[in-house]
Amino acid sequence: MRILVPILSFGRAGGYRVLSELANNWVSRNHDVDFLSPDSSDEPYFPTKAEIRWVNGEGVVSAQRQAKAKPSGRYHLQALSRGLKVVGHEYDVILANHSLTAWPVALAACGNAKKFYYVQAYEPEYYANRRTIKGYVLAFMTALSYHLPIKRIANSPIYFRYRNLRTSCFVPPGIDLSIFKPGKDAKDLERAESIVIGCIGRYEPEKGTIYVLRAFEKLHQRDRRFQLRVAYGNLPEGWKHDGCEIVVPKNDQELASYYRSLDILVAPGTVQHGAPHYPVLEGLACGIPVVTTGYMGATPDTAWIVGNRDVNSICDAISRLVADPLTRQQKSNQGRIVARAYSWDSVADQMLTVFNGELS
């Protein structure tokens, strides 16, 4: 099967990891997989075995990237649209993966290629939360993209009927279980000299970082053993605390080591509960107690589910799990079992099954 994955640029967000890992798995199964990217993009952050076809604003496609100063978003869309018209007909499958790639994929004439749209989040909600004119325009364009004539594949069943998004096809994201795995035995938190709480620091309000910080402040005030370890920083301007440490993992191996350095992981996102959220899946796979507002993989059997935007609920959950080693062990064991369903082999198989169903 020949598969083309058009992108506006390579980035470091979790969605790009998904695309790289899917491509790597398919290439290992002898499928021909290419990325099509504007030549203004950076090189891939996540390693890929797929070939990369670079396209410029005139629609000239090349295997060599001509580094450019960062042009406008219009340049990206124009390059991608023209590139699809040139090479789209060479493929069996074209996989759009973002609202702004769905438009050129839908509108380009690509011969007999089957077109798919992998929806990895309900994007309008995030754009609208910016509360800017550009954000509202992007939210509107993204919402419209869910009505384009492309087969939609969601990464969570919550998107089957989510606002104006409709689909009945579901393929989850995956995790590398050879990297995200348990480490040393969990320590006795009741007698420990320190209790390390962790979270992934994000600026976006909907990621809920501020609620972890406020919960930590309360817990540390009660018990000085509580420490906070934040991955990547991205803390609110002016916020600091002597009990807070920032670490910056450079790759998945270092990110997995970060998770294993924690006693508790908090994932307090405020929107689209039930959707995939990588820290939750990765934390479960590493056997770390997870406190979350409720994302894929997290249930009362595998994690401590807390109220949305509820600092006291986070504090109460952490206090309970510290005092209950038996429940910690039970949920940790069950979380690792649940995480096994998200291996890349399984996820890549599911996506190929969807492709083959449309091609047959």
With 70 as the cut, is the pLDDT of residue 337 above it? yes
Q: For 2-174+343-359, which CATH superfamily applies?
A: Glycogen Phosphorylase B; (3.40.50.2000)
pLDDT digits (tens, 9 = 90+) for 213-228: 999 999 999 999 999 9
pLDDT at res. 68:
63
With 90 as the cut, is the pLDDT of residue 185 above it? no
Sorted by where each begins, the domain ranges of the chain are 2-174+343-359, 195-341
CB 236 within 8 A of CB 211: no
pLDDT digits (tens, 9 = 90+) for 200-213: 999 999 999 999 99
Element containing residue 162 per DSSP (H, E): strand 161-162
What would the mean pLDDT of 269-279 be, rounded to a whole number?
96
> Do the two domains 2-174+343-359 and 195-341 of this chain adopt the same fold?
yes
pLDDT at res. 349:
96
How far apart (Å, rounded) are the C-alpha atoms in residues 304 and 300? 6
What would the mean pLDDT of 18-39 be, rounded to a whole number?
96
Amino acid identity of residue 264, one-letter, is I
Instruction: Select the more confidently predicted residue: 129 or 313.
Output: 313
pLDDT at res. 69:
62
Element containing residue 356 per DSSP (H, E): helix 344-359
Per DSSP, 342 falls in state G
Q: Would you place residue 187 in the very low, low, confident or very high pLDDT band (cuts 50, 70, 90)?
A: confident
Tokens of 144: 């419209």
- Provide, rounded to the nearest whole percent, the portion of the chain with pLDDT above 70: 99
pLDDT digits (tens, 9 = 90+) for 118-177: 999 999 999 998 889 999 999 999 999 999 999 999 999 999 999 999 999 999 999 999
Q: For 195-341, which CATH superfamily applies?
A: Glycogen Phosphorylase B; (3.40.50.2000)
Q: What is the mean pLDDT of the chain?
A: 95
Question: Residue 3 forms beta bridges with which residues?
Answer: 33, 93
How far apart (Å, rounded) are the C-alpha atoms in residues 137 and 107? 19
What would the mean pLDDT of 290-319 be, rounded to a whole number?
98
Task: Give the position of tokens 């609208």.
Answer: 128
pLDDT digits (tens, 9 = 90+) for 67-119: 666 677 788 899 999 999 999 999 999 999 989 999 999 999 999 999 999 99
